[in-house]
Amino acid sequence: MRQLSICNACRYCEGYCAVWDAIEFKSILNEGDIYHLSNLCHDCRDCYYACPYNEPEHDFKLNIPKVLGQVRVETYKDNLKPRFFGFALEKPILVTATSTIIAVAISIAYAAFSFGVDSFSSLPMTTVIPVTLFKSATILVYLYTITLWSWEGIAYWSKINQKEHLSVSGLGKGIRDAIFHKNFLGGGEGCKVPNHNSRYMRVTMHSLVFFGFITALVSISFYPDITGYFAIAYLIGSIAVTLGTAGMIYIHLKESKGSRSDVQSSIDYPFTILLFFAGITGIIVPVSFGTTLFNWNFIIHDALIIVVFLLAPFSKFIHPVFRVISLIKYNSDSLRLSQK
C-alpha cells in the first residue's frame, strides 16, 4: 500500500495501463483494492522503467510490478478451491513434474498392457480410445476445470467487488480487453520486456499461446476426424502454442530479474514448460499420422493435455480467470463513475 500510495500521488505513469486509472478511482486503498490491482496488472513493467523513484536508485525503492506480482500469487492462494490443493502453488515444479510423469506412465502402461507393445502401433486410434470414451472424458475434464475456476472466480469477485455491481457494458468491454490483450501494450508503447527492442514480443507470444490453444481445442473436439482441415487447424494451433511458450521461456531467461517477483516466476516456469511440451507433441500428432509413431504420440500428448486441465485451477492457469474478472470490474467502475 505504501508504494501504491506514492504512485497515486505522483501519477507519472497515468495512461500506461488500466492499473493507473483504477488507482485514481480510490483515495484510500484497502486489501480488496490491492487484490484487484494485482490481477489488473499485466506485468509489462513499463511503469518500473519509467519510474523516477524505482529501486535501487531512489530511497522510495518503488517496484510496482514486483510487488503486484507477489500479491497476485497471494490472491491465487487465498482463493484456491478446494484449499487443501494449496501445496500445488507452494511446490509448482514438483507437482507439475510428478503429475506429468504419472500421467504419461499411466498412458504408456494402458497401451502396453491392454493392446501389447508390438501391436499397439498398428491399431486404429478409435480402438485405442473409443469415441464415446474420448468425448465423455473430455466433457468431464472440462466440467472439472470450469467448475473449480468458477468457484475460485466467485471467491475472488466477492473479495474485490465491495458490493458494487458490474454492468453489461463493463462485462463486454472487459472480455474484449482480455481477448485483444489491450493492456499488454503499455499505453501504446508496448512492453519493454526483455529489452527496449522487443516492445511487442510479449504480447505476440501471449497471443500465440492464447489463440493457438483455443484453435487446437476446437479442432480436436471433432475427434475421431483428425485429418484434413481439422489436422491442419490442430497443427497450426500446436505450432502457435509451441512458439508462444518458447518465446515466453526466452523472455523469462533474458529479462531483468530484479524487476519481477521471484514467487511469480516460480509458478510461471513449470506450467509454461508443460504447455511447451504439449505444443511439441501436438505438432507431431498430425505430422505422424499414418506412421508407427502416431498412436504412441497421441496418447502421450493426450496425457499432457489432461495434466494441463487438471492443474489449471492450481497453477499459472488461474490467472486468466482473475484477470478477466479484474478487467470486467475495472470497466464497470469506469462506466459507472463516468456517468456521475
Give the Cα-Cα-Cα angle 160, 65, 157 (nearest 5 degrees). 15
pLDDT over threshold 90, residue 40: yes
When the pLDDT of each residue in the chain is averaged and rounded to a whole number, the result is 89
Return the C-alpha cell found at 129. Answer: 480410445
Residue 10 DSSP SS3: helix
Tens of pLDDT, residues 71-101: 999 999 999 999 989 999 999 999 999 999 9
Distance between CA atoms of 85 and 289, rounded to whole angstroms? 38
Distance between CA atoms of 20 and 8, rounded to whole angstroms? 8
Distance between CA atoms of 221 and 134, rounded to whole angstroms? 9
Ordered by start, the domain boundaries in the chain are: 2-332
Distance between CA atoms of 79 and 149, rounded to whole angstroms? 10
pTM listed for this prediction: 0.91
Peptide bond into 82 cis (omega under 30): yes
pLDDT, average across residues 190-203: 81
Q: Contact at 8 Å (CB) between 100 and 304?
A: yes
User: Which pLDDT score, from 0 to 100, does residue 63 have?
Assistant: 86
User: Which pLDDT score, from 0 to 100, does residue 1 have?
Assistant: 65
Tens of pLDDT, residues 48-73: 888 888 766 667 778 888 889 999 99
Tens of pLDDT, residues 232-283: 999 999 999 999 999 999 988 887 767 778 888 889 999 999 999 999 999 9
**Ramachandran angles phi, psi of 189, nearest 5°:** -90, -10
pLDDT over threshold 70, residue 187: no
